[in-house]
Amino acid sequence: MLAPMHHGGGRRAIRVVLAVAVALVAVLVLAQLILPGIAARRISARIARYGHVDAVSVSAWPALKLLWGQADTVSVKAGALALTPAQASALLWESRGVSRMRLSASSVRLGPLELEGVSLQKRGGQLAGAATTSAAQAAAALPAGVSATLIASREGAVEVQATGGLFGVSASVRARAEAREGDLIAHPVGFLIEGFQLTLFADPHVHIESVGASVRSQEPLTYRLTIEALLG
């Protein structure tokens, strides 16, 4: 027959359980107070390699999941940034554990292209970005001797009239930029030269779904650019 538990032993067991519960609650509370700030500083330092960061905020519940690179929301406000497309893709891939993210920057030099008023939103794996660029800034990003004029933007693609040496042809041709199997490619529009194509962007983790462009203002001529992509 089992001996009955003494009242003293029962009370000690209860005190141990309560102490453990209090300790766990304390750890969770401290983590909730401390970890989001640490994560925000790490993100700020990472982005600051490419320019000026004004503010970063992070939220996560429970905050302990930040230790595994997961977060509920991340908000980034930056000034002027300059990075390559490959560096931008690497930053986006690092955000794969973030459920919702919003980034805004006064300007971003993405490779040779200067963008203004940049905004990027992430929901799950879906990415949506928008920015403006002037005709002069767009021309400066093109190879020497090449110019392009916006014709239309529809069905997730952009059509321009390109003049200069492109696709192995030195002439004025109608060209289309569009997503193809996750890459952003450009190709001339025309039966005889349709097979030529130029890859503008390709990354195994960022799959382009659509691009768009529209005239935002005439003086000076400024375009609004949009892009939708899938991170994965």
Amino acid at the residue 34: I
In a domain, 25, yes or no: yes
In a domain, 2, yes or no: no
In a domain, 87, yes or no: yes
Structural domains counted in the chain? 1
In a domain, 1, yes or no: no
In a domain, 125, yes or no: yes
At 29-60, the pLDDT tens digits run 776 889 999 999 999 999 999 999 999 999 99
Q: Which two tokens stand for residue 167?
A: 């696709």
In a domain, 3, yes or no: no
What are the strands of the beta sheet with 157-166, ordered from one edge?
147-154, 157-166, 169-180, 183-188, 198-201
Note the pLDDT of residue 177. 94
Mean pLDDT per block of 10 residues along the chain (232 residues) reads 56 70 65 89 97 97 92 98 96 96 98 97 98 94 86 94 70 88 90 71 96 94 97 92
In a domain, 160, yes or no: yes
- Work out whether strand 198-201 and strand 183-188 pair parallel, antiparallel, or are unpaired: antiparallel
Amino acid at the residue 16: V
Q: Which of 116, 75, 82, 115 is nearest to 98 (CA)?
A: 75
**Structural domain that includes position 56:** 11-231
pTM, entire model: 0.84
CA torsion sign for 81, 161, 142, 89 is positive
In a domain, 5, yes or no: no
